[in-house]
Structure 1
Amino acid sequence: MPVLQSRYNPPLLFKNGHVATVYAGLFRKVPGLEQKRERLELPDGDFMDLDWSYGEAPTNKVVILLHGLEGHGQRPYITGSAKVFNAAGIDACAVNFRGCSGQTNRLYRSYHSGATEDLEAVIHHILETKSYTEILIKGISLGGNMTLKYLGEGRDIPKEVKAAIAISVPCQLHDSLIQLLKPKNWAYAKRFRKHLVAKLRAKQKYFPELITEEQLGKIKNLK
């Protein structure tokens, strides 16, 4: 993978990566975007929710937006992307991975970066029920990992898929975990752990024989 020198020069305050990350996650607002939710029933009996937004005029183009770990379709980096694409005349389908739309998914399994069958299901749904002839994919972080995996698995990619972009991709998931566990990243790791354990507790109500209080109590970090 070539390493290209970035020519982006951020404002002084945001030259610090931690400041840029925290500010965008906690304080960024994206006004003026209307989303309409659609539930996609999956072949295995589970579901994902899709948050749609549209340009001013009918179009044959749509972008599929894939969020990162513990993200969802209303995160500013997703809604901001949707707004930019809509302004360019491209409709946007913001995917909420399993269990990420505010409702616990039905099955014991959850989302993960390798679940390319879920991205494939979204693409199939769009081709079967919509009139788009050009599909773009934009994945961020975990969603970027899924995007690249989907494109590189050797499957037959529908001819309607014209382009894809992956941003801030954790190509080596284990190495990314090691970085998260370093002291300088404790705030991110703590936040991820908090949200992931909360989801496990919610799922425990439906699968008490598979997720016990003893197991939950042993989760001290992201390992």
Structure 2
Amino acid sequence: MILPNAVPGPYRAPAWLPGGHAQTLYSSLFIRVPPVEYRRERLELDDGDFLDFDWVDGDPGQAVVVLFHGLEGSSASHYAYDLMRRVRQRGWSGVVAHFRGCSGEDNRLPRAYFAGDSVEIGRILRHVKSRHPDAPLHAAGVSLGGNALLRWLGESGAAAQALVERAAAISAPLDLTAAGNALDRGFNRRVYTAHFLATLKQKALKKARQFPGTLDADAIARAASFREFDTLVTARLHGFRDADDYWLRASSRPVLPAIRVPTLIVNARNDPFLPAWALPTAAAVASDVTLEQPETGGHVAFPSGPFPGNIDWMPQRLMQHFDTVQR
């Protein structure tokens, strides 16, 4: 069944849920989104590793939406269920592309995924396009996945038009230095950083056992900040000097002027993960980039409606953006 396209207005948070922390935590922990049934596809890579794709199959010739999830996310993330459900209702095809080690099975190599892995983004997009060569392909990225997608778009410039019709990034940490410093302080460090490190460290310690001499297991076990973890693990596995070098070189903000695909970038100004002062202005991005920076919304949240609320605004806004060029 194809539903009429919902056209959301500018985002405004419900009065009963004020503040960036409340909007972020409530949307993630308490708003329930119905699950989606996927078809799993595994792509074996030339380097000996693999990538897992979770598909919802639509009508032949209709648009395809690929979603790049956030840090430690997956096709089971609430935002993935919500977007893929909308995609299926429209008769489109959709796919959640898992980064390495995020599909429920450990990847095989001494590497993981990171916020600036534009090579991996390009590999994934080429694969998805090969499955639907004649259909419009739209790409969405959430948080870390949004930053990686924007890096690929900026580095590719006009060449990206051969693969992607339209793109969007939600709550992307455009300035990783600002985001990393914000997440390593106070409440953010005790809640969000501690939450992410619980699984990130577990995966890294398994890598240390699997590939002796690659990582310092004792130091990883003691790590209590993103700066420590990214220096000990992310930088070590992916060729950066340390966290500062990684954050500087992987940030998407410097390449936003080079984007040549119509791209929507949505960041709430009360996002706990990225301070508002680090957000770009319209003068700092390409003319093909549309910036939306509502005062409220939290991080990958944007709750709406009467209590107990929903997270429908975000997928509606994405579908509206992608619908503009639907053939």
1:108 and 2:96 matched: no
SS at match of 1:58: coil
SS at match of 1:12: coil
Evaluate the alpha carbon distance shift between residue 75 and residue 8 of structure 1 in structure 2; reply closer, same or farther with a 3 A threshold.
Answer: same
Matched residue SS, 1:99? coil
Residue in 1 aligned with 2:171? 168
Q: 1:127 to 1:29 in 2, by over 3 A?
A: same
What is aligned with 2:64?
A: 62
Q: Secondary structure at the match of 2:16?
A: helix
Looking at structure 1, the residues matched to 101 and 35 of structure 2 have their Cα atoms a distance apart, in angstroms, of 26
Structure-2 separation of matches of 1:154 and 1:171: 17
Match of residue 198, structure 2, among 167, 170, 194: 194
More relative contact order, 1 or 2 (CA 8 Å, 6+ apart): 2
1:59–1:89 CA contact under 8 A, matched in 2: no
CA distance in 1, matches of 2:48, 2:175: 31
Alignment partner for residue 76 of structure 1, among 75, 78, 81? Answer: 78
- The alignment of Structure 1 onto Structure 2 pairs a total of residues equal to 217
The equivalent of 2:18 in structure 1 is 15
**Superposed, which structure 2 residues align to 1:39-58 within 5 Å?**
39-55=42-58, 57-58=59-60
Quick one: which amino acid aligns to residue 66 of structure 2? Answer: I
- Tell me the equivalent position of 1:220: 224
Report the Cα offset of residue 181 of structure 1.
Answer: 1.3
Distance 2:181 2:42 in 1: 35
Q: 1:209 offset after TM fit, Å?
A: 2.4
Indicate yes or no: 2:112 matched with 1:137: no
Task: Write out per-residue CA displacement over residues 70-100 of structure 1, whole angstroms, 9 at most, x where no aligned residue.
Answer: 1112101111111112222221110110111
Q: Which amino acid aligns with 2:50?
A: F
CA contact (8 A) 2:62 2:91 kept: no
In 2, the alpha carbon distance for the partners of 1:110 and 1:142 equals 13
Secondary structure, counterpart of 1:190 in structure 2: helix
Describe the SS at the equivalent of 1:139: strand
| Contact 2:142–2:172 under 8 Å retained in 1 | yes
Distance in 2 between the 1:167 and 1:194 partners?
24
Match of 2:270 in 1: none
Task: Name structure 1 gaps, 5 residues minimum.
Answer: 1-5
Specify the alignment match of 1:146 in structure 2.
148
Q: Which amino acid aligns with 1:175?
A: A
How far off its partner does 1:132 sit?
4.3
User: What TM-score, normalized to structure 1?
Assistant: 0.89
123-132 vs 11-20, which deviates more? Answer: 123-132
Give the share of equivalent positions with the same residue, in percent: 35
Are the counterparts in 2 of residues 59 and 91 from structure 1 also a CA contact under 8 Å? no
- The Cα of 1:210 is off from its aligned counterpart by 1.6
AA partner of residue 84 (structure 2): A
The alignment yields a C-alpha RMSD, in angstroms, of: 1.9
| Corresponding position: 1:157 with 2:160 | yes
Structure 1 position 34 matched with structure 2 position 32: no
1:205 matched residue in structure 2: 209
Higher strand share: 1
Whole-angstrom distance in 1 between the partners of 2:88 and 2:17? 27
Which segment drifts farther, 202-211 or 159-168?
202-211
Q: Does 1:127 align with 2:129?
A: yes
SS in 2 for 1:20: helix
User: Does structure 2 conserve the Cα–Cα contact (< 8 Å) formed by 1:46 and 1:106?
Assistant: yes
For the residue of structure 1 that corresponds to 2:140, the secondary structure is: strand
Shift of 1:24: 2.0
**1:99-126 Cα deviation digits (max 9, x unpaired):** 1111111110110111111121112212
TM-aligned CA deviation for residue 45 of structure 1: 1.8
Cα distance in 2 between the residues matched to 1:132 and 1:146: 25
Deviation, 1:32, is 5.3
Going from structure 1 to structure 2, the CA distance change for 1:102 and 1:32 (only over 3 Å counts) comes to closer
How far residue 205 of structure 1 moved from its aligned partner, in angstroms, is 3.1
Q: Structure 2: state its 5+ residue gaps.
A: 1-8, 228-327
Paired letter, 1:88: R
Whole-Å separation in 1 of the counterparts to 2:57 and 2:35: 12
Contact 1:73 1:94 in 2 (8 A): yes
